[in-house]
Amino acid sequence: MKNMIFRQLFDQDSWTFTYLLADPLTKEAIMIDPVYEKAERDLTLIRELDLKLKYTIETHTHADHITGAAKISAATGAKKVAGKQSGAVCADILVDDGDTLEFGPYIVKCISTPGHTDGCMSYYVSGSLFTGDALFVRGNGRTDFQQGSPERLFESITQKIYSLPDETIIYPAHDYKGHSFSTVEEEKKFNPRINETVTLDQFVKTMNGLNLPDPKKIHEAVPANLVCGNV
């Protein structure tokens, strides 16, 4: 992403990364996975950099935080984008596998990567992949709620994400261990849950045995995110 304006922003409460990408010439920009409580921070940055936000883009219907999409779109005129299977009736644009979006000269390729939820999308831009909750640095999203399926997630990661060039940079929606990004090559080698040697049966057994508590905000966040955080 040489010469692109790029910011990786973080919400400590939900461990969520928000990404701002912009073309320095046209000033057209996109924002991936904005957080409601951080909307003013993000809007300030957009104004400071004199950007024209074209899209707010969701990787999936989040269960651990409320999106800032509605608030940011109302202030900037950006169109709200979500996956076709996300259930987000509020979205201005519903994208499916193989669809594309543009900002300046850059193309955003939409890749369906279900398994954490039905509507999970990853977005490929200039050698970088924004994986949402499908794949983390040395981890992956859970599969025990919101239509989660370890079998589908295994396929999404091994057949779609890991099929990209090894040098592809992985930018996840969350981090809980102090990492900020990785690469396809690193995750294929070192991801303890799903690397090149892990079988489907092993992965399914691991995921079905996690017994994680529900996210604290799940009953608040999911309904709010189906309306793009318009609360």
> What percentage of the chain exceeds 70 in pLDDT?
99
Per-residue tokens: 179: 């990492």
User: Is residue 217 assigned to a domain?
Assistant: no
Taking the C-alpha atoms of residue 97 and residue 99, their distance in angstroms, rounded to an integer, is: 6
Distance CA 8, CA 41 (A): 13
- pLDDT tens figures, 195-221: 999 999 999 999 999 999 988 888 899
Q: Cβ contacts of residue 96 below 8 Å, gap of 6+?
A: 83, 84, 110, 112
In angstroms and rounded to an integer, the radius of gyration of the C-alpha atoms of the chain is: 16
The pLDDT tens digits of the residues spanning 85-138 come to 999 989 999 999 999 999 999 999 999 999 999 999 999 999 999 999 999 999
pLDDT digits (tens, 9 = 90+) for 40-71: 999 999 999 999 999 999 999 999 999 999 99
Q: Is the pLDDT of residue 28 over 70?
A: yes
DSSP characters over 101-131? EEETTEEEEEEE--SSSTT-EEEEETTEEEE
Q: What is the pTM of this model?
A: 0.97
The whole-angstrom separation of Cα 218 and Cα 216 is: 6
112 located within any domain: yes
> What is the pLDDT, as a whole number, of residue 183?
98
Residue 147 resides in a domain: yes
Sign of the dihedral defined by the CA atoms of residues 63, 65, 66, 69, in that order: negative
pLDDT at position 1: 67
To 10 degrees, the CA torsion angle through 82, 224, 147, 176? 90
- Domain residues for the domain of 185 are 5-209
Token pair 């991801």 is found at 191
> Is residue 221 a part of any domain in this protein?
no
Report the C-alpha dihedral over residues 165, 179, 140, 110, rounded to 10 degrees.
-50
Q: How many CB atoms lie within 10 A of CB 100?
A: 11
Residue 219 lies in a domain: no
Name the pLDDT band for 230 (thresholds 50, 70, 90).
Answer: confident
3 dihedral zone (left: phi>0; alpha: psi -120 to 50; beta) = left
The answer to whether residue 222 is domain-embedded is no
CATH number, residue 62: 3.60.15.10
Share of the chain above pLDDT 90, in %: 92
Whether the Cβ atoms of residue 65 and residue 13 lie closer than 8 Å to each other:
yes
What do you get for the CA distance between the two ends of the chain, in Å? 34
Higher pLDDT, 81 or 2: 81
CA-angle at 103, arms to 100 and 109, nearest 5° = 25
Interatomic CA distance for residues 148 and 168, integer angstroms: 26
Domains of the chain: total: 1
pLDDT, mean over the chain: 96
Q: Is residue 223 part of a domain?
A: no
Chain segment 10-20, per-residue pLDDT in tens: 999 999 999 99
- According to DSSP, residue 225 is labeled H
Q: Is residue 132 part of a domain?
A: yes
